[in-house]
Structure 1
Amino acid sequence: MDLRLKKSTFARREARSGWLYAAVPLLGITVFFVLPFLISLLRTFQRGLTQEFVGLQNYIDILHSEAFLTAAGNTLRFMAFAVPLNVVLGLVIALGLHRLASRAAFFRTVFLIPYVIPVSATVMFFQILFEQSGVVNSALQLIGKAPVEFLTSDRAFYVLLLLYLWKNFGYNMVIFLSGLARIPRDYAEAARIDGAGAFQTFRHITMPLLAPTFFFVFIISIMNSFKVFREAYALGGEYPHESIYMLQHFMNNNLQNLNYQRVSVASLYVFVLIVLLVLALYLWRRKKGDDRL
């Protein structure tokens, strides 16, 4: 009886200690994440400084905003290009370095350097390359071609895409290398002995075993594609060329104009879009028969 009582007392103390340890991070999450989210959600149903309840009117009005539709279209277009290219580029380079084994350390470091370079330095480098009097236009003039407006035309989108890929593919490469390192080499050797070619080995052995890593990289790439505002803002300012005017530009400009309702509604649309994309990928993966996270 005494032993059971001591165990019960010890269990209660352990539970209290656990809650005390968890209280600080839970308080931080509540104050800095949950409460701001709930306040933003409440603002989406109010109008202006009067805080008059207007229901879903703010959600309807923003869909008639040309600036919002342009920003949303550019963001989705950028994501449609950037995510697949970033994933494929990281995978291809990781496969190449994986074959080099111990000799890959130098190249792995070289490819990862752009990821750790500050955004401002990266943007400055690309501005030196693509400005009206930059390196690329100087080279074009040397061969008798007219200079091209890279940053003040529709080409700005592709400059931003190139900048994003150059800076971010190294991160995906490292994640893929980690996933490839966990695949036993015996599987590939056994497949080659059975007569499987490189493509068959990749399709039937490497890709299925790399599926969890592939899923993680795809999700991270989707989320990172929404963070391109830093590069776009540094490249084109608050009001860049229309082709690189992103949702973050829209929210930043409305925040400066104290239009909190528009910012909150746009943020919620982005949140819902990310959740739907992640959910769709998860369901697709489960349908393919691999539901391990």
Structure 2
Amino acid sequence: MKLHRLARRELLAALGFLAPSLAGFSVFYLIPFGQSVLNSFQDRLGGSFTLSNYKELLLSSSFQKAASNTFWFTAISVPILVAVSLMLALLLNQRVFIRNWLRTAYVLPLVVPVASIVLVWQILFDWNGALNAVLQHFGHSRHDWMKSEWAGFVIVLVYVWKNIGYNVILFLAGLQNIPDPYYEIADLEGAGSVRKLFGITLTYLTPTTFLVVLMSVLNSFKVFRETYLVAGAYPHDRIYMMQHYMNNMFLSLDIQKVSSAAVFMALCITALVLVLFRTERIFRSYME
């Protein structure tokens, strides 16, 4: 009986501490999303149930362009970010010169405001920017980086630079948790560097790699801030993302289109996360 009362008191205390967070989450996230789902199935007059909003959404050329760009951006930028982060983490895990300084340098993008980051990249890739000045110095013509097909390359570069520090920290934490005796035994058995990399390092980094991939995918859907600040509300077709489409529909007060796009995007992200969880579970069971 006493144990039951104690457990009940602990449960009430836990709920009391969680109440402010749960209230904030409900007011600012859960309830608005529920209202968006409801709006996506209604016409502009708030009438009966309809699927016409989703039909118009999927047939919209602007939405198709935004969805395609978002998909390709995620498919290209995430593998690049994960691979570069892993290579840098492997390098920083060794006893190299100025290792501590390099670790600090990779963390700096996490603490610098987004507006400052965008200002730096604007200075580099603007028509009168530093990169065009270098090209002109060597006899090449200036290039309008943000108004051409190269705009996608610029956004990928900004995304990788902004998020690489966080991923390097996660990989370093995973590398430092691998027991040293495994490498010592591998050395005694004559295993080479490649064999140790794939047989020990990458095997024990599986949970960390999954977390890094998951966070990188989610962060790839947040690149709208950088894209918007660099290229504005109507950028080049190459970097017209889902968030651009929803932002423009919101400005035109087309709430049904915004809600439909938001629900569609949420479903896509959820499906992608579930696939990643399933893949990680299968891979982990295979490695065991």
| Alignment match, 1:239 | 234
Q: 2-side partners of 1:55 and 1:245: how far apart? A: 28
Q: 1-side partners of 2:132 and 2:17: how far apart? A: 59
Which one of the candidate residues 40, 47, 51 is aligned to 1:44?
Answer: 40
Q: 2-side partners of 1:126 and 1:18: how far apart? A: 46
Q: Give the drift of 1:289.
A: 3.4
Which one of the candidate residues 25, 39, 42 is aligned to 2:21?
Answer: 25
CA shift in 2, pair 1:88/1:179, >3 Å? same
| Alignment match, 1:185 | 180
Q: 1-side partners of 2:11 and 2:26: how far apart? A: 21
Q: 2-side partners of 1:251 and 1:68: how far apart? A: 9
Give the letter aligned to residue 143 of structure 2. Answer: V
Which one of the candidate residues 117, 128, 140 is aligned to 1:145?
Answer: 140
Give the letter aligned to residue 175 of structure 1. Answer: L
Contact kept, 8 Å, 1:285 with 1:291, in 2: the verdict is no
Q: 1-side partners of 2:61 and 2:174: how far apart? A: 43
Alignment of 1:222-237 (within 5 A): 222-237=217-232
Structure 1 residues 142-198: Cα deviation after superposition (integer angstroms, max 9, x where no partner): 221111121111111111111111121111111100110100122112112211111
Contact kept, 8 Å, 1:90 with 1:176, in 2: the verdict is yes
Q: 2-side partners of 1:7 and 1:161: how far apart? A: 56
Identity %: 40
Deviates more, 1:239-248 or 1:279-288: 279-288
CA shift in 2, pair 1:162/1:7, >3 Å? closer
Structure 1 residues 241-293: Cα deviation after superposition (integer angstroms, max 9, x where no partner): 1111111111111111111111111111111111111111121122223499x
Deviates more, 1:87-96 or 1:113-122: 113-122
Q: 1-side partners of 2:11 and 2:30: how far apart? A: 24
Instruction: Please list every run of 5 or more consecutive structure 2 residues that lacks an aligned counterpart in the other structure.
Output: none
Question: Larger C-alpha radius of gyration, 1 or 2?
Answer: 1
What's the TM-score once normalised by structure 1's chain length?
Answer: 0.92
Q: 2-side partners of 1:147 and 1:102: how far apart? A: 38
CA shift in 2, pair 1:56/1:291, >3 Å? farther
| Alignment match, 1:176 | 171
- Compute the RMSD of aligned alpha carbons: 1.9
Which one of the candidate residues 75, 85, 91 is aligned to 2:86?
Answer: 91
State the number of aligned residues.
Answer: 287
Alignment of 1:98-109 (within 5 A): 98-100=93-95, 104-109=99-104
